[in-house]
Amino acid sequence: MKKSPNPIDVHVGSRVRLRRMLIGMSQERLGELLGLTFQQVQKYEKGANRIGASRLFQIARILGVPVQFCFDDAPTEGGAGLAAPGFAEADQTPFILNFVSSSEGLELNRAFTAISDPNVRKRIIELVRSLGESGAD
Sketch the domain layout of the chain as residue ranges.
7-91, 102-137
- CATH domain 7-91 topology: 434 Repressor (Amino-terminal Domain) (1.10.260)
> pLDDT tens digits for 102-124?
778 888 888 888 899 989 989 99
CA distances to 6, 9, 15, 124 from 82, rounded to whole Å, are: 11, 13, 18, 35
Backbone angles phi, psi at 71, to 5 degrees: -105, -5
Q: What confidence score (pLDDT) does residue 87 get?
A: 53
CA 116/CA 119 separation, integer angstroms: 9
Q: Which residues contact 66 (CB under 8 A, 6 or more apart)?
A: 60
How far is it, in rounded angstroms, from Cα 134 to Cα 87? 32
pLDDT of 76? 73
pLDDT in tens, 7-61: 999 999 999 998 998 888 999 999 999 999 999 999 999 999 999 999 999 999 9
Which pLDDT does position 110 carry in this prediction?
Answer: 83
Residue with the bigger pLDDT between 120 and 83: it is 120
Are the beta carbons of 71 and 17 closer than 8 angstroms? no
CA distance 20 to 57: 14
Q: In the prediction, which pLDDT does 46 show?
A: 92
Could you report the per-residue pLDDT of 84-106, keeping only the tens digit for each? Answer: 455 555 555 566 666 776 778 88
Task: Say what the pTM is.
Answer: 0.66
Rounded Cα distance, 19 and 15, in Å: 6
Residue in 51, 91, 61, 56 with CA at minimum distance from that of residue 73: 91
